[in-house]
Structure 1
């Protein structure tokens, strides 16, 4: 079976991303056969990012649907201007603290709460776990609900900034990983 469009790691492989192809029989390669597509779609998830044009083999699928050890999923509600147009599940992003507060405008507390200060990302190379695009059935909103898969030690600062609407995400080019 051939992958016809990119599928992010951790996501099910939809039938629309599969195509039947003929390959030479080889007992050394565990190709996922076209007859196994329903099982591949319903029981398994992509163990790694699947790229368009690749042949699907068994090791590219996993029945583990949980969040990897040491990672957490953090939800953000981003407003227009806080995310790049076309952001989608599987993209790699960095997140920065944004807003109008500056260290000069608020009193010094002496605390070390400087995580995500100007120019310092709250998280780098995070995977977009999910993006919920508005549909015609929902009330129009400029907010974009986004979930990021991040390292556990980055979650607190990211969640705090997100709660205050002070997060912007930037798309990281695929070759910058």
Structure 2
């Protein structure tokens, strides 16, 4: 009796798939190595120092903001070149910011000096605002006192203002001498308000010595008027 043997064939597709998926032993089954975390103590220490430094700086700023110094504040206008009187100063407490404010303890010394620029009320005095000599009161200058009636000078005129000194002709003047400017920008040195009885106002001005005799002569005849120059300081 003849028996037929089946020839050995190729393995089935399922067998191949099972063989290929059953156990992974190729490159795909290998995991990539993970490098261990590198510790950086130097960076951590630097970050800590920065944090501590910032906190320390903030603390110092808060502490310094509480430091107060005594300074000079101007309470009345002082014109350029004028001596700074003690009555124009008062003591104020300000924060110590490092700016060169003049200490109130130096007030007596300051009163012997002059204003480099016009000092307005409310100004905190610094060293740069003070000079030891005044060009306004130096050689070639003269102080002239004027006794003026209301209408011959503007209301509210104060020390440190700049004015035009104008010659106005009296009743006997002619048409060609009605008015002319004798000083273009004279400095007001001091003022006194006229009384209720109609008395004259006393105004002292600083002018060039070359025109002071003429101004004084016209002032004695009541022929001087002042015009304020608000923009000139």
TM over 0.5: yes
Distance 1:176 1:50, change over 3 A: closer
Instruction: Indicate the residue corresponding to 2:102 in structure 1.
Output: 32
Contact 2:153–2:225 (8 Å) recurs in 1: yes
Question: The residue matched to 1:146 in structure 2 has which SS?
Answer: strand
Query: Counterpart in 2 of 1:54?
Result: 123
With CA pairs under 8 Å and 6+ residues apart, which has the higher RCO, 1 or 2? 1
Among 192, 202, 207, which residue is 1:132 paired with? 192
Runs of 5+ unmatched residues, structure 2:
1-70
The secondary structure found in structure 2 opposite 1:157 is helix
Tell me the equivalent position of 2:166. Answer: 96
Structure 1 residue runs without a partner (length 5+): 105-113
Number of residues of Structure 1 aligned to a counterpart in Structure 2 = 158
Q: Which has the higher Rg, Structure 1 or Structure 2? A: 2
Q: What is the rounded CA distance, in whole Å, between the counterparts of 1:4 and 1:14 in structure 2?
A: 10
TM-score normalised by structure 2 residue count: 0.57
CA distance in 2, matches of 1:54, 1:23: 17
Q: TM-score, normalised by structure 1?
A: 0.72
The structure 1 residue matched to 2:222, chosen from 140, 165, 172, is: 165
* Residue 144 of structure 1 pairs with residue 176 of structure 2: no
Q: Choose which of 142, 154, 167 in structure 2 pairs with 1:72.
A: 142
Deviations 1:86-120 (A, max 9, x none): 2222111112112222326xxxxxxxxx8xx3342
Identify if the C-alpha distance between structure 1 residues 100 and 24 changes in structure 2 by more than 3 Å, giving closer, same or farther.
same
Q: What is the alpha-carbon root mean square deviation over aligned residues?
A: 2.8
Task: Single out whichever of 140-149 and 95-104 deviates more from structure 2.
Answer: 95-104
